[in-house]
Chain A
Amino acid sequence: MMARKVVITGLGATTPIGGDVPTLWENALKGVSGAATLEDDWVKEYDLPVTFAARASVQPAEVLSRPETKRMDPSTQFAVIASREAWADSGLNKEEIDQNKLAVAFATGIGGVWTLLNAWDTLREKGPRRVLPMTVPMLMPNGPAAAVSLDLGAAGGAHTPVSACASGTEAMHVGLELIRSGKADVVMVGGAEAAIHPMPMAAFASMHALSRRNDDPTKASRPYDVDRDGFVMGEGAGALVLESEEHALARGARIYAELAGSSVTSDAHHITAPDPEGSGATRALKAAMYDGRIQPEDVVHVNAHATSTPVGDAPEYTALKNALGDQLENVWVSATKSQMGHLLGASGAVESVLCALAVYHRTTPVTINLDNQDPAIPLKVVTGAPQALRAEGTIVALNNSFGFGGHNAVVAIRSV
């Protein structure tokens, strides 16, 4: 029996370069930077070695009610904002669908870190009585998935893939499997992250993962450039409505693209360093293509993981070369973290939103700050202006995400 086809019918996002999908897409094609010097007192108070980040361009307090911002961790706030946009975009109506066949797979890399650390500060400064009763449900990593499930009335299960910076893409994988297996007809998938807090900033800086280009934040995220020196911390969320094709067709839904294949592998190589041969990433790419019955010639676009770290960017090239062979010369690669920084557990979801739009509009987001391309990474990178993708026939975009722990997640998004 053929597995059920899964299609993407709704998109939502809140990011450093746009608080909704239309703004995100407009800016992603234009090429802007969401990074800026942080004005928070804690930057000076703790004398942080990195003094900038890419904050969400629309802060949750601008769109949510006071009780919502008070009772949800910022990561959950971002998730709910993106999910509501994706749901409205899909045209689905809560009253008209089977709630037991509506599921959620909403990822996060770190979870409610603001809540956890604020509560710890409160405990130390004011004692246990002042630690608020909502602290536990706010800090738990399944908070975003649970809040989205409550918001939508999704009773078909709420899952929380946690695989560091691969989390958002792994959520796509989970959603695909839920629909293929018949357990769900509709799944709200996504990823959310809100970790621009002094402790994670200090910790990522301590491992020299963050760029230290403090005097020029908008030039700091520069994947594939010879002068790249680390990633830029971002925040926000992405959300996609996945739906069985038959369910979408029955209600006459607008279909952006097909989620054709996915794969998750693990390097089993090192807790943080990528396998220099890219073997885990290669297996993930090949398996996602096999899963979607995709040939290298079908692939025209890749939204790369490309975080702008010196050691991370090169093995991804090796993996793409292994998986796509000579076709890689015809593939336009976008490194959108150059614009919005690294949204950690949300990045795979936001980048999947961009891939769905790239396939739908047959055009690519751009990569900024690529002044001198690393000769060790001879990819065909979209710089300057968007590139039109093949106008005729079926096209496929791949989205790669890799996370500390050796997690590799790949999704393949195909035109319909």
Chain B
Amino acid sequence: MASNEEILAGLAEIVNSETGLDEADVQLDKSFTEDLDIDSISMMTIVVEAEEKFDVKIPDEEVKNLKTVGDAVSFIAGAQA
């Protein structure tokens, strides 16, 4: 089980490798589309890689609800339980 801090760090690593954004810019309150400028294909890549990294399932219909990094961290933390 990863802690919320570990999930955030893991997501930041994935976002960095996908987009080149600084890991420090990946903060809980940031919106994937508005703040981080992540397009839909990159978002799906991040979801698939997060599923693998944290051994969770993120259903496609859930992805549209993951507006901010914090939403994703919360969902992954919940899905681990």
Contact = CB atoms under 8 A, between A and B. Distances in A.
A133 B44 contact: yes
A130 interface: yes
Contacts of A65: 20
B28 interface: no
Contacts of B34: none
B58 to A, nearest CB: 10
A393 interface: no
Q: Secondary structure of the B side of the interface?
A: helix
Nearest to A69: B17
B19 interface: yes
B48 A130 contact: yes
B17 A130 contact: no
A70 interface: yes
Interface of B: 16-20, 41, 44-45, 48, 51-52
B48 A70 contact: no
A67 B20 contact: yes
Given A133-B41, A134-B41, A66 B20 contact: yes
Interface of A is mostly: helix
Given A67-B20, A129-B51, 7 more contacts: A66-B17, A66-B20, A67-B17, A67-B18, A67-B19, A130-B51, A133-B44
Nearest to A66: B17
Interface string A38-69: 00000000000000000000000000011100
7 contacts: A126-B52, A129-B48, A130-B48, A130-B52, A132-B45, A133-B45, A134-B45
Contacts of B44: 133
Contacts of A133: 41, 44-45, 48
